[in-house]
Chains A and B, each alone.
Chain A
Amino acid sequence: MKPDLAIEIAGIRMRNPVMVASGTFGYAEEYADVIDLSRLGAIVVKGISLKPWSGNPIPRLVEVPGGLVNAIGLQNPGVEGFIHQHMPFLRTLDTPVLVNIWGRTAQEYAETAARLNDVEGVRGLEINISCPNIKEGGLAFGTNPSAAADVIRAVRARTRLPIIPKLSPNVSDIRVFARVAAEHGADAISLINSYPAMVIDVERRRPALANVTGGLSGPAIHPIAVKLVYEAAQATRLPIIGMGGISTARDALEFIIAGASAVAVGTATFGDPMTALNVIEGIETYLSDHGFSSASELVGALEQ
């Protein structure tokens, strides 16, 4: 018998636990020609703010062994632009769409969330308190528990949608942030965002990125992410969406065994747009081969 891949996380029913991560999949239409979007568990679109935001100067991205360092800086058309330019396509999909939101103040997060409340086709909000690439907001909220609490509470007060704070790996104790999310009304948590990093062009003796620093993603951060998901799962009963460096089903399975209910594929999509679909197939095969009847049975199934 085929194992049951379907899961429900934060009240959102998904046909399988494999999502695509914010910032690596645009607004989904960019990849519609090459992958069947209806096979994905969920789609998390690029970070949206209250007003249009131009992001960072170029260069914005540099490849490193086992990953890449980016400093895109959350360029986006603002929540109104997003609703008008991108939701018409997104709401035609039968895959749940989650919107990643960010702001420079807790108030901006809350207003963006409120605007998305009654937008048809938006199924949940991922709250980005962990982007390393903007001066205000982002990581400033994700590395300070009381600031994180302020954002999560402010968003909770203004939306009926499920909310999923996205946590930074750049903290001394991830469990503190997992508990803060639970206490202030989050429905799930996702982790990790990219890891703060820097690359220097030695020929020119300049930073490789115009923003000087950026965020490291890709296979290089996968073991870091697994450790943090494992720790977060010990600290909270909130469902966890595990991400960071997934390029194979085995990478995704590590997150699930560590305690994640779902996973997201990010950077690997650039190298192979089929990665998420291959991960879904690989998880199904693994569950069959190891006698599990459902994906949820494997969540937190770590033997110690």
Chain B
Amino acid sequence: MHLENTCVLSQKALGNYRVLELASERIAPAVRPGQFVHLRVPRLADAVLRRPLSVFRAEADRLALLYKPIGYGTGALTRVQAGDAVSLLGPLGNGFPVALPPDRMPVLVAGGYGVAPLFLLARELPQRGIVFAGTASAKDILCREDFEALGWDYRAATEDGTLGRQGLVTALLDDWMRNRPSNLMPEFYACGPDGMLRAVGERAVVGGWRAWLSLDRHMGCGVGACLACVQRLRRPEGIVWGRVCRDGPVFEAREIVWDEPGETKKEVSR
């Protein structure tokens, strides 16, 4: 983990999303797929917290972050320009496991900007496989050519039907699962909204496969100190709180204890 004072190289819009490219000599070379950085939004004096953003691309001396402007901090981040000074803390979190038995086929499921850590993962997995990407509209479909150039089969679903299948990415996944060769053993990797992650996890559990799910959460410190971004996990010793920033953000589907609608409290042993 490093605290790096660096600068913005570029920022550009990509559909509803933004790609922020930063110089980084210390963090970029150390990043593993699924890890994130905690970024201090420049000139946002009244915001006391950093913003956690997934690493989308990492090279020797630079990294790219993909984000969607959704609130006060990420909204202000859209005004950041090349040359602006930025403070980064990272790389943070556990990341996706990249070791994969040769008989498994990686199946990546991305919801919206959840494609960011999966793109980094796609370059490092030992086998190529298939990517299912779901977004609101065709203009938000990202990295299709990049995935294909790496040898991945890329399938898109859009909510408005402007590209690929209309509807949810999980419906697209279900169609493929029904028609896949019976000897194919999938290993799932997913990043996106909770509803999508939960649906992918349920399919994996039912089929007896593994699903590595990356959770997107508001965070405080980002290093495991403040205990704000906790998630209930099923562990041998019982139901425990895991820290999404430090113990995650990637958890295997069987570990995650999802909240039920309307539920307010569930016992956690510690």
Contacts and interface: CB of A to CB of B under 8 A. Distances in A.
Contacts of A142: none
Nearest to B270: A52
B268 A54 contact: yes
Nearest to B50: A271
Nearest to B4: A34
Interface in B211-254: 218, 220-231, 241, 246
Interface secondary structure of B, over-half rule: loop
Interface stretch (A66-74, A227-235, A285-293): A66-74
Nearest to A269: B221
The interface centre, meaning the residue of B1, B47, B48, B221 with most chain A CB atoms within 10 A of its CB, is B48
Nearest to B263: A57
A270 B246 contact: no
A273 interface: yes
A273 B226 contact: no
A69 B265 CA distance: 20
A57 B265 contact: yes
A72 B226 contact: yes
A26 B269 contact: no
Contact of B270 (A23, A53, A58, A67): A53
Contact of A78 (B87, B231, B270): B270
B267 interface: yes
Nearest to B71: A63
B27 to A, nearest CB: 11
A25 interface: yes
A303 interface: no
Contacts of B241: 54-55, 75
Contacts of B267: 54
The interface centre, meaning the residue of A59, A63, A268 with most chain B CB atoms within 10 A of its CB, is A63
Nearest to A77: B270
Given A52-B269, A54-B267, A61 B228 contact: yes
Contacts of A27: 225
B48 A61 contact: no
B48 A270 contact: yes
A63 B48 contact: yes
Interface in A27-64: 27, 30-31, 33-35, 46, 52-55, 57-63
B214 to A, nearest CB: 17
Contacts of B46: 65-66, 219
B223 A31 contact: yes
Contacts of A219: 46, 48
B227 A274 contact: no
A273 B270 contact: no
Contacts of A63: 47-49, 72-73
The interface centre, meaning the residue of A58, A68, A272 with most chain B CB atoms within 10 A of its CB, is A58
A42 to B, nearest CB: 16
Given A81-B270, A219-B48, A271-B40, A34 B225 contact: no
A229 to B, nearest CB: 21
B48 A68 contact: yes
Contacts of B179: none
B77 interface: no
Contacts of B171: none
**How large, as a class, is the contact surface on chain B?**
35 or more
Contact of A57 (B222, B246, B264): B264
Given A52-B270, A210-B264, A272-B40, A33 B227 contact: no
A25 B225 contact: yes
A84 B241 CA distance: 19
A23 B48 contact: no
Interface string B164-192: 00000000000000000000000000000
A138 interface: no
Contacts of A194: none
Contacts of B224: 26, 30
B12 interface: no
Given A66-B48, A68-B49, A219-B48, A270 B265 contact: no
Contacts of B229: 58, 61
A271 B89 CA distance: 10
Given A53-B270, A273-B89, A24 B48 contact: no
B139 interface: no
Nearest to A81: B270
B196 to A, nearest CB: 19
A63 B266 CA distance: 25
B154 to A, nearest CB: 34
A218 B269 contact: no
Interface of B: 1-3, 40, 46-50, 72-73, 87, 89, 218, 220-231, 241, 246, 264-270
Which 4 pairs across A and B sit closest by C-beta, in order of nearness? A26-B225, A61-B228, A52-B270, A54-B268
21 contacts: A25-B225, A26-B225, A31-B225, A34-B1, A54-B267, A54-B270, A55-B227, A58-B228, A58-B230, A60-B228, A60-B230, A63-B72, A75-B227, A75-B230, A81-B270, A210-B264, A219-B48, A270-B49, A271-B48, A271-B49, A273-B89
Given A72-B227, A271-B47, 20 more contacts: A24-B225, A24-B226, A26-B225, A26-B227, A30-B224, A30-B225, A31-B223, A34-B2, A52-B269, A54-B241, A61-B228, A61-B229, A65-B46, A66-B46, A67-B48, A77-B270, A81-B270, A210-B264, A270-B220, A270-B226
